[in-house]
């Protein structure tokens, strides 16, 4: 991999986070405890996670011309991220995420309002084409439209820039997009949606991984929560145990993993070291509240 900057194409949200003694079921109302309004979005979180691990990051996305959008721009700028391709849109609100966190377990559930994220289009990607083509790595997720992601992946591949896709939130994927991915990083449930296969048993992740390689991804790294991670490409297969941590809030743990992994790759860390750093970053993030707020800095990781 060439050295240089990471381009993150993705979402920006305002996260409205409520911590509850138990998550409500359909039809139930529960009283919450602590409430926070924070900048988030998988794209923005992954950009910040990579920047905090030392990567030079350029962000491509969209926010509304509102308070949440201004907060997000200020936050990303303060993290040292280049936001010249973070478009501010009139007459559309910044994306939002309603996040309920189950206090005892730290698990969460999230509902999204797309807002400005739905307006990330191929024209915006074309404006960022030079940044993408000169990058060391392109990182994308699925909270912004697939057409824009596909366009960015095409530009990257034509320039020899590897493409990392975190297929979150889970949805069936366009074959053309999967075929343009160099590193696919799903969690268990995303891998299940992409393959239609269980990823729960001891050997099941291997089957799902083989299926994803068969669908055209050049390499796949499945994060398995408490069961660690599984990496595979045409020649290599690696399994790593999870790093144990006392989780109080798992929001953004996947973003911490992806950002740290991307930063390690562009610093030319060997694959096993990059996975280890990503696992450490994720295990720190779950011990803190919030998604972006919980992301680790390089100095915290041995
Ligand atoms: O991965 C966590 C993120 O998912 C939150 O910040 C929220 O905005 C949703 O996009």
Q: Which residues contact 92 (CB under 8 A, 6 or more apart)?
A: 64, 115, 116, 119
The pLDDT of residue 197: 79
The pLDDT of residue 255: 97
Span of 109-113, 156-160, 170-174, 227-231 with lowest mean pLDDT: 170-174
The pLDDT of residue 30: 93
The pLDDT of residue 290: 87
Whether 199 has a pLDDT exceeding 80, the answer reads no
Instruction: Place 196 in a pLDDT band, splitting at 50, 70 and 90.
Output: confident
The pLDDT of residue 52: 98
Per the residue annotation, which of 131, 249, 255, 276 is the catalytic one? 255
Q: Which of 66, 55, 54, 51 is nearest to 12 (CA)?
A: 66
Measure 144 CA to ligand 1 centroid, in angstroms: 12
pLDDT tens, position by position, 161-189 = 999 999 999 999 989 999 999 999 999 99
Structural domains in the chain? 6-12+41-94+116-300 (3.40.1190.20)
Whether 253 has a pLDDT exceeding 90, the answer reads yes
Q: Which of 100, 96, 75, 101 is nearest to 86 (CA)?
A: 75
Express as a percent the part of the chain with pLDDT over 90.
Answer: 86
pLDDT tens, position by position, 82-108 = 999 999 999 999 999 999 999 888 888
Cβ of 290: how many Cβ atoms within 10 Å?
Answer: 20
In angstroms, the Cα distances linking 300 to 33, 81, 105 are 29, 20, 24
Q: Which of 118, 111, 76 is nearest to 93 (CA)?
A: 118
Question: What pairing do the DSSP bridges indicate for beta strands 237-240 and 229-233?
Answer: antiparallel
pLDDT tens, position by position, 211-227 = 999 999 999 999 998 89
- Would residue 216 be called left, alpha or beta, if left means φ above 0 and alpha means ψ between -120 and 50 degrees? left
Measure 56 CA to ligand 1 centroid, in angstroms: 22
Instruction: Place 129 in a pLDDT band, splitting at 50, 70 and 90.
Output: very high
Residue of 49, 291, 293, 294 best suited for mutating to test ligand 1, as the one with most atoms within 8 Å of CB: 291
255 an active-site residue?
A: yes
Instruction: Place 246 in a pLDDT band, splitting at 50, 70 and 90.
Output: confident
Q: Ligand 1 atom 7: the closest Cα is on which residue?
A: 41
The atom of ligand 1 lying closest to the CA of 11 is 10
> Token pair of 132, please?
């993408």
The pLDDT of residue 294: 93
The pLDDT of residue 47: 98
Whether 203 has a pLDDT exceeding 90, the answer reads no
């Amino acid at each position: 991999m060439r050295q240089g900057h990471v381009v993150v194409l993705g979402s920006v949200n305002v996260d409205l986070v409520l911590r509850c003694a138990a998550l409500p079921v359909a039809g139930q109302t529960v009283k919450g405890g602590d409430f926070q309004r924070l900048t988030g979005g998988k794209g923005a979180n992954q950009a910040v996670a990579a920047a905090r691990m030392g990567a030079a990051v350029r962000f491509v996305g969209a926010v509304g011309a509102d308070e949440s959008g201004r907060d997000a721009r200020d936050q990303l700028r303060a993290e040292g991220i280049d936001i010249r391709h973070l478009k501010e849109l009139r007459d559309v609100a910044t994306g939002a995420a309603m996040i309920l966190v189950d206090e005892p377990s730290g698990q969460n559930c999230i509902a999204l309002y797309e807002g400005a994220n739905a307006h990330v289009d191929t024209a915006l990607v074309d404006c960022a084409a030079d940044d993408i083509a000169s990058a060391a790595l392109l990182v994308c997720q699925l909270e912004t439209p697939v057409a824009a992601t596909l366009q960015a992946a095409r530009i990257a591949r034509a320039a020899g820039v590897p493409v990392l896709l975190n297929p979150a939130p889970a949805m069936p994927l366009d074959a053309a997009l999967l075929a343009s991915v160099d590193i696919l990083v799903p969690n268990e449930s995303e891998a299940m949606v992409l393959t239609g296969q269980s990823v729960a048993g001891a050997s099941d992740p291997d089957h799902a991984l083989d299926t994803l390689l068969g669908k055209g991804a050049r390499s796949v790294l499945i994060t398995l929560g408490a069961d660690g991670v599984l990496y595979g490409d045409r020649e290599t297969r690696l399994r790593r145990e999870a790093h144990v941590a006392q989780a109080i809030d798992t929001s953004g743990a996947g973003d911490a993993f992806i950002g740290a992994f991307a930063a390690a790759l562009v610093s030319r860390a060997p694959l096993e070291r990059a996975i280890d750093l990503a696992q450490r970053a994720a295990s720190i993030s779950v011990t803190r509240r919030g998604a972006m707020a919980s992301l680790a800095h390089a100095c915290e990781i041995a």
